Amino acid sequence: MTQKAFKYRFYPTPEQETLLRRTMGCTRLVYNRALAARTQAWYEHQERVGYAETSAMLTTWKKAEDLQFLNEVSCVPLQQGLRHLQKAFSNFFAGRAQYPNFKKKHHGGSAEFTKSAFKFRDAQVFLAKDAEPLNIRWSRQLPQGSEPSTVTVRLSPAGRWTVSLLVDVEIEPLPASPNQIGIDLGITSLVALSTGEKVANPKSFAAKRRKLKRVQKALSRKQKGSNNQHKARIKVARVYAEISDSRHDFLHKLTTRLVRENQTIAVEALAVKNMVKNRKLAKSISDAAWGELVRQLEYKCDWYGRSFVKIDRWFPSSKRCGHCGHIVDKLPLDIREWDCPSCGTHHDRDINAAKNILAAGLAVSVCGANVRPDKHSL
């Protein structure tokens, strides 16, 4: 049994929008107050404040005269906000994320409702404090007989309302496939496969760059705090939404195809955070979204019973001859094709790297071989 989220657009009535905006505002207020309290406690007294203490603070805040409006919305999203803050701190202390930031109003917002704060009846969602169901556009049906355990309502910076329903589903593994591939990630070609196929990079950001520049210029001319500035900010957010939608649509279609067609998939474990420090390539690397592509491949392989292997990023996949194993000393990025000085084989840089990644991935998956160049190389 696997938990899977189904995301839909919905269109609230004016009354529902007012209630949801108030709920998100209260959730944001509680989150920011708790974050400020935890930060202050550490800097002033070197004390760690946890979820239990912030939950007690919330009870106190609800009794304050100037915060009575916290009682007018469902208490569940407020508590869930504190749980999310606790998770953010856990990730920070574990080194998986940076220190939590304060939430901002113009970034949109979200509110999470657990089972005690919503009803799912006759394929309709009723949220707490609201007698009317959400007007959801059911672009796809939920699995037969499944009921959501969590409902998350989000308002994007572009003004779009979405609802995510988290359900438990049984995902059937795909039939076994004899195919296996290695994937080399790039910029000109988003992926090069060991089969010789190259998939062009759609460059979603570059396609909308001129439009984004125009609306950002218009935003910069608006007076701060004015209604016109608010309208211009929404226009900028909508362009960013178009870029994000285009990128995610392409990646989902590509990763689904690769997982359906291949039993074993091997990729390089790239340190994207370090690579974007290169000022000349940072924008192109971010636009390519390598991290998201690898993330999608990993969880889809887990869903459908495929083998997913990550190769150490120090493995010399590009500099190694896939025919004789010779490793050249240097191979600058501007050299896209090269001849092996040992056996004379002509290589396409990306295809050769993909073939080496596949070979290393098979070795790692079978016997746990070390693929670093200074160890026992393949």
Q: How many Å apart are CA 251 and CA 294, to the nearest integer?
A: 10
Angle separating helix axes 75-93 and 51-63, nearest 10 degrees: 150
How do 264-268 and 180-185 pair as beta strands?
parallel
The dihedral built from the CA positions of residue 328, 330, 336 and 341, taken in this order, carries a sign that is negative
Quick check: helix, strand or coil at residue 266? strand
Measured distance between the N- and C-terminal CA atoms of the chain, rounded to whole angstroms: 38
Quick check: helix, strand or coil at residue 312? coil
The yes-or-no answer on residue 184 being catalytic is yes
Q: Which of 112, 130, 287, 350 is catalytic?
A: 350
- Give, for 181, the enclosing helix (H) or strand (E): strand 180-185
Q: Which two tokens stand for residue 304?
A: 């459908």
Nearest Cα to Cα of residue 134 among 165, 157, 159, 105? 165
Neighbours of 374 (CB within 10 A): 7
Q: Which of 72, 268, 292, 302 is catalytic?
A: 268
Q: Which of 184, 292, 302, 312 is catalytic?
A: 184
Sheet holding 307-311, edge to edge: 198-200, 189-193, 180-185, 264-268, 307-311
Q: Which two tokens stand for residue 77?
A: 């999203």
The yes-or-no answer on residue 350 being catalytic is yes
- Give, for 354, the enclosing helix (H) or strand (E): helix 349-367
For residues 209 and 291, the answer to whether their CB atoms sit within 8 Å is: no
Burial (CB count within 10 angstroms: exposed 0-12, middle 13-18, buried 19+), residue 178: exposed
Angle separating helix axes 209-220 and 227-261, nearest 10 degrees: 160
313: left (phi over 0), alpha (psi -120 to 50) or beta: alpha
Q: Report, as residue numbers or ranges, the catalytic residues.
A: 184, 268, 350
